[in-house]
Amino acid sequence: MTPAAIATVLGRVLLALLFVLAGAAKIAGPRPFLDHMKQAHVPGGFLPAVVVLEVGAGLALAIGWRRMIAADALSVFCLATAAIFHRDLGNRVERTLFFKDIALAGALAMIATAS
């Protein structure tokens, strides 16, 4: 395996880990996430779908299975998260989270389109 290939796989795994761990956190203690969803007027019934997306697409991305679909789905998820949960750009923390989600969406879009 070339150094570039190793870096590509390692980068993909590290990025995927963010989503897998986020999904695991939602399974281990859903209450704070449900409260945050309620504050944003998002029905709590979406939480299981979010967990499946984060864990499922995260693992798929990590192992490279259906890489394009997994990366695209997570990219759209990041854009939606930024738009729904981090709209208060006057708040420094929310602004940072907004741009973090936008940056993640961009990185995932690049992974989805890489050969």
Tens digits of residue pLDDT in 29-72? 999 999 999 999 999 999 999 999 999 999 999 999 999 999 99
Q: 23 is written with which tokens?
A: 């999904």
Question: Please, which residues have CB within 8 angstroms of residue 91's CB and are 6 or more apart in sequence?
Answer: none
Report which of 7, 21, 14 is spatially closest to residue 114, judged by C-alpha positions: 7
- Rounded to two decimals, what is the model's pTM? 0.93
pLDDT band at 1 (very low <50, low <70, confident <90, very high): confident
Question: In this structure, are residues 85 and 36 in contact, taking their beta carbons and an 8 Å threshold?
Answer: yes
Q: 42 is written with which tokens?
A: 């998002």
Please state, in angstroms and rounded to a whole number, the distance separating the CA atoms of residues 65 and 81.
24
What domain range includes position 55?
A: 3-113
Amino acid letter, residue 61: L
pLDDT above 90 for 114: no
pLDDT above 80 for 108: yes
Report which of 15, 21, 106, 75 is spatially closest to residue 7, judged by C-alpha positions: 15
Domain count, the chain: 1
User: What is the rounded average pLDDT of the residues 95-99?
Assistant: 98
pLDDT above 80 for 111: yes
